[in-house]
Amino acid sequence: MAFVQGPLSQRLKIIHGFGAVAFGVKDLGFSFFLLIFYNQVLGMDARLVSLALLIALFVDAVIDPIIGNLSDRTYTKWGRRLPWLYVAPIPLAVLWALLWHPPGGEAPSFAGLVAIAIGVRVLLSACEVPSISLVPEITQDYDERTTLFRYRFLSGWLGGIVMMVLAYTVFMSGPDGLLEKEGYLGFGIFGAVLMLLSVGGSALGQHRLVAHWPDRRPPPFSLKAAFSEIFDAFSERSFLFFFAGALAAYVNQGMTFSIANYLNVFVWRLDQPILAGGPEWLTGLLAYAVTLFLSVLLMFFIVGSMHRAFGKAKSAAIGAYCSVLLGLTPYLLFALGIWPEAGSTASTLAFLGTLLFANMFGVVMMISATSMLAEIVEAFEERTGRRAEGAFYSGNWLIQKCATGLGIFLTGQIIAAAQLPEGARAAQIEFGVLTDMIGYYAAASILLAIVAAFWLGRFPISRAEHEARLERLAKKRLDAIDAAARGDVDAGALAP
């Protein structure tokens, strides 16, 4: 049974969502700043940096399902998830600060970067997998689950946007901008504190609701049994549809985020003031961060209506197509030479206007896909008699991390193929280099969006099917209780 029957309180929605701030901090750092920091600031080759991050993601992705299985099997008086949420954020905060200020303040070796990146990602998973696995435990309602994910996405984006705004206006606000090495130390320390407050604060806020002994004691952990259960969970038919679509969506997201600062500075020149003669701090980069947050606010108000009107699957497909169409339009016009001069007020405002709606639809796609996972939990429960929230959400992170790593790796190859020089300044880069970079990026984005829309749009669990399954599961529990009352069988053995 879910922890909450009926509508969720506003307090619970906010507190649960707050736990995702840590993920937003990490995602912003890895996707927007890490490649440019190690490449342009510390002088490491972009291909080696992207390869190091890809290796770290693959290693973490293999560990994620084990974390999910361990989370499902945790048996304490505080429940299955809270012990993870109280312990993991402490070493996570330490390693996050170290990532942005390597020992000696110089570029680490390739192996050193891989090791630090793996540590950060594994510890973040030990926070995020148990936290998000609480969603299907808190409520079984189709729409309330979407609501919890809305708050998680809003909080995650808020954490990322706060870090982005501080990066542009405080930490890297000097004459060297994003190339200001000292600013990344403050960026790392502030992010570490925010991660610790996010995960720990959210866990404390939900403690009274979820801190109790699980209904059943799970069997002892074994690596063989864990991978057997993980394989069984991942072979669920509906999960395979999700896997195919989410893989393409996450690759696209990883590539788009990691190439954003290159495009923002070298193509759109957003590091300049928006208004000629205006305040120096009011740059296009600051407006970019604000626009991203406004796009997530728009998503927050429309995604519920889209799910009610179209369902989660069709909403995801609509989001994928609209996002890529709107997002690439400015680049096409720029490459054709019919866009206002880059860096001008007209160019910046027009680009941000399309970004507002492109990112809104992109987030609609991602939140629709993530919310689908909660329905897979009951499909698996009906088939096997077991709940495996941790396994499925760790599977989601496995997909996301492998795919995001591929996306970042693609960005490294795009930058290298376009022959963008190290330490480059926007005014010194030839137009042909920029159009090559845009062309490679656009081709990859279009292909990935088509694949994501195709598979996510065919996700097989509708609202009606989900609600019918809940009725069948409830009837099965009642039948088990009746059988136990008659002395035919132990109710705990039959209840799923």
Q: pLDDT tens digits for 343-386? A: 899 999 999 999 999 999 999 999 899 888 888 888 888 888 87
Residue-wise pLDDT for 403-437, tens only, equals: 877 887 888 889 888 888 766 677 778 888 899 99
Contact between residue 194 and residue 62 where contact means Cβ atoms under 8 Å apart: no
What pTM value is reported for the model? Answer: 0.74
On whether the CB atoms of residues 156 and 97 are closer than 8 A, the answer is: no
Specify the higher pLDDT residue, 281 or 446. Answer: 446
What are 273's strand-pairing partners? 283
Quick one: average pLDDT of 196-223? 86
Please state, in angstroms and as integers, the Cα–Cα distance from residue 256 to each residue in 28, 293, 299, 383, following that order.
12, 16, 19, 38
Residue 423: the pLDDT is 64
Residues near 66 by beta carbon (within 8 Å), at least 6 away in sequence: 223, 226, 230, 394
Query: Rounded mean pLDDT of 474-494?
Result: 66
* Integer angstrom CA distances of residue 276 from 144, 266, 342: 47, 19, 13
Q: Which residue has the tokens 């995801």?
A: 316
Tell me what pLDDT residue 295 has: 93
Q: How crowded is residue 220: how many other Cβ atoms within 10 Å of its Cβ? A: 7
pLDDT at 495 over 50: no
Q: What is the distance between the alpha carbons of residues 416 and 440, in angstroms, rounded to a whole number? A: 11
DSSP annotation of 2: -
pLDDT (0 to 100) of residue 11: 93
Query: If you ran DSSP here, which 8-state letter would residue 465 be given?
Result: H
Answer yes or no: are the C-beta atoms of 53 and 405 closer than 8 Å.
yes
- Over 60: is that where the pLDDT of 185 sits? yes
Q: Higher pLDDT residue, 65 or 455? A: 455
Domains identified in the chain and CATH numbers = 17-461 (1.20.1250.20)
CB-based contacts of 44, cutoff 8 Å, min separation 6:
38, 107, 113
Dihedral (Cα; 343, 349, 355, 357), 10-degree rounding: -170
- Average pLDDT (229-253) is 87
**Mean model confidence pLDDT for the chain:** 86
pLDDT > 70 in the chain, percent: 96
In percent, the amount of the chain with pLDDT more than 90 equals 38
Least confident of 149-153, 184-188, 317-321, 476-480: 476-480
- Cα–Cα distance, 141 to 159 (Å, whole number): 27
| CB distance 12 to 206 below 8 Å | yes
Is the predicted pLDDT of residue 496 greater than 60, yes or no? no
Each residue's pLDDT tens digit, 260-290: 888 998 899 988 888 877 777 788 888 998 8
Lowest mean pLDDT among 161-170, 197-206, 447-456: 161-170
Per 3-state DSSP, the chain is made up of helix, strand and coil in percentages (nearest 5) of: 80, 0, 20
The residues, ordered by sequence, that sit 6+ positions from 156 with a Cβ below 8 Å of its Cβ are 20, 21, 23, 24, 27
pLDDT at 448 (0 to 100)? 96
Nearest to 417 by CA among 403, 435, 397: 435
pLDDT band at 136 (very low <50, low <70, confident <90, very high): confident
Residue carrying structure tokens 């009926």: 6
DSSP state string for 140-166: --HHHHHHHHHHHHHHHHHHHHHHHHH
Lowest-pLDDT choice from 60-74, 239-253, 296-310: 60-74
